[in-house]
């Protein structure tokens, strides 16, 4: 007998723009999207919060923004992290090195991360899950800060980014260096973090799909992935919008994809549906 397969379908960058917000809500109402990760410092964050309140079945989590985005605190309080306009570095490598080696940056990260959690709490929305823009939540410095404050910040689920190459690699094509390096990096980071999450009873899925197909989570990809989805809980994430990544939005509202989910007997869930297991 085939084990039960449960799938969280998530949209990152909720609150970044009006186009993304519209795509998220339409994909939730018309398609298979079950959760979204909110950028509390996003330009369209207030609109996203209102839309989330109007759609209570959408599980909303915090998409920590510590690179390629805006901060919650002013530059005067976190000068090692952002420029005069409150923008983080656009280079993930430069930001990651700074956060790892700079004592001052590490101290300022603590207060910035806490402020982003406070802003989410102020929305009144249940915290479905936590992850990070460009997966910075698994950066060793950032993860240590989060892990030390799981109870304080009410964290009950987190994305453990590990895209199984044995399943996902044959489904894509090209970009071999990107796909190979990301598969290895996040396998190492997730392996390091897994025992900590278990010890703190933080829910996570067995696998996360979308990393190796970044910006290419198309209908074709979904139709190839779903029949191969392993037993247990998985997450499929993408970046739907009505403009730049419309192909990812169209995958989420595709009748063919919805029919494949039904035919395969896959249960669509949110992270909060895993809470009771931990």
Cα separation, 124 vs 118, whole angstroms: 10
Count: domains in the chain: 1
* CB neighbour burial string for 208-242, b if at least 16 within 10 angstroms, e if fewer: bbbbbbbebbbbebbbebbeebeeebbbbbbbbbb
Helix boundaries (H) for 169-209: 176-199
What local confidence, expressed as pLDDT, does residue 276 receive?
79
Joined together, the tokens standing for residue 201 give: 């009873």
Report CA dihedral (257, 228, 173, 176) to the nearest 10 degrees. Answer: 130
**Domain of 142?**
5-277
- The DSSP 8-state label assigned to residue 82 in this structure reads B
State pLDDT tens for residues 137-194. 999 999 999 999 999 999 999 999 999 888 988 887 778 788 888 888 999 999 999 9
CB 139 within 8 A of CB 100: yes
pLDDT tier at 126, thresholds 50, 70, 90 = very high
Q: Where are the beta strands (DSSP E) in 15-166?
A: 35-38, 59-64, 130-132
- Rg (alpha carbons) of the chain, rounded to whole number: 18
pLDDT at residue 18 tops 90: yes
CB 69 within 8 A of CB 88: yes
pTM as predicted: 0.95
Q: How confident is the model at residue 1 (pLDDT cuts 50, 70, 90)?
A: low
- Rounded distance, CA 175 to CA 154, Å? 38
Question: What is the CATH number for 210?
Answer: 3.20.20.370
In which residue are the tokens 């369209």 written?
Answer: 44
Q: Could you read off the pLDDT of 229-252 as tens digits, one per residue?
A: 999 999 999 999 999 999 999 999
| Local confidence band at 136 (pLDDT 50, 70, 90 cut-offs) | very high
C-alpha count within 13 angstroms, C-beta hemisphere, residue 102: 17
215: three-class secondary structure by DSSP: coil
């Amino acid at each position: 007998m085939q084990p039960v397969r449960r799938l969280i379908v998530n949209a990152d960058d909720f609150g970044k723009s009006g186009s993304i917000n519209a795509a998220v809500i339409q994909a939730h109402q018309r398609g298979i999207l079950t959760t979204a990760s909110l950028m509390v410092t996003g330009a369209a964050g207030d609109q996203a919060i209102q839309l989330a309140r109007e759609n209570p079945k959408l599980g909303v989590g915090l998409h920590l923004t510590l690179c390629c985005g805006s901060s919650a605190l002013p530059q005067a309080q976190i000068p090692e992290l952002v420029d005069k306009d409150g923008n983080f570095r656009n280079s993930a490598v430069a930001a990651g090195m700074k956060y790892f080696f700079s004592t001052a940056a590490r101290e300022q990260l603590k207060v910035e991360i806490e402020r982003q959690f406070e802003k989410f709490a102020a929305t009144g929305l249940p915290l479905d899950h936590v992850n990070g823009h460009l997966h910075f939540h698994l950066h060793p410095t950032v993860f240590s800060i989060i892990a030390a404050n799981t109870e304080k910040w009410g964290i009950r689920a987190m994305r453990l980014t590990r895209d199984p190459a044995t399943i996902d690699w044959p489904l894509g094509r090209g970009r071999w260096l990107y796909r190979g390096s990301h598969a290895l990096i996040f396998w190492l980071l997730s392996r390091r973090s897994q025992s900590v999450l278990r010890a703190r009873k933080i829910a996570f899925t067995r696998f996360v799909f979308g990393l190796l197909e970044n910006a290419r989570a198309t209908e074709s990809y979904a139709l190839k992935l779903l029949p191969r989805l392993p037993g247990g809980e998985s997450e499929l994430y993408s970046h739907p919008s009505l403009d730049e990544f419309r192909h990812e939005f169209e995958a989420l509202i595709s009748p063919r994809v919805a029919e494949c989910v039904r035919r395969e007997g896959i249960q669509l869930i949110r992270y909060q549906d895993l809470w009771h297991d931990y």
